[in-house]
């Protein structure tokens, strides 16, 4: 895997993570947090999709790696919602 392919995967994961955060309302952190949520969301979403025997929808292939866009956003939103509940700010 070359450096441009890695950078492209980071960009795709960042966009998916940002969309996932926007869907659930969790907005702590910046670009790096969005990238991490995108990658964790891809892992979590793909795992849940395989458990439910759902197909890989909107997968982008970069080099030899396939990145599931839809499952990354869904899994990232689920992960960000869980993070939002765990790290809830105290009420004033």
Domain hosting residue 14, numbered range: 7-85
In a domain, 91, yes or no: no
| 3-class state of residue 32 by DSSP | helix
Per-residue pLDDT, 77: 92
70 is a domain residue: yes
Specify whether the backbone of 47 is left (phi greater than 0), alpha (psi in -120 to 50) or beta: alpha
pLDDT for 90: 64
* Whole-structure pTM value: 0.84
Report yes or no on 90 lying in a domain.
no
Cα angle: 52, vertex 54, 56; to 5 degrees: 135
Residue 81 lies inside a defined structural domain of this protein: yes
**55 inside domain:** yes
Is residue 92, in this structure, part of any structural domain at all? no
C-beta separation of 44 from 52 below 8 A: no
Residue 20 lies in a domain: yes
How does pLDDT run along the chain (92 residues), one tens digit per residue? Answer: 789 998 998 899 899 999 999 988 877 778 888 889 888 998 999 999 999 999 888 888 988 888 889 999 999 999 988 888 888 766 66
What is the number of structural domains in the chain?
1
């Amino acid at each position: 895997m070359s450096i441009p392919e890695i950078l492209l995967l980071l960009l795709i994961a960042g966009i998916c993570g940002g969309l996932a955060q926007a869907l659930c309302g969790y907005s702590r952190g910046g670009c790096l947090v969005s990238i991490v949520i995108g990658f964790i969301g891809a892992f979590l979403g793909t795992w849940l999709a395989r458990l439910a025997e759902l197909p890989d929808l909107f997968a982008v292939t970069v080099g030899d790696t396939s990145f599931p866009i839809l499952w990354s956003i869904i899994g990232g939103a689920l992960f960000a919602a869980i993070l939002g509940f765990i790290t809830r700010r105290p009420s004033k």
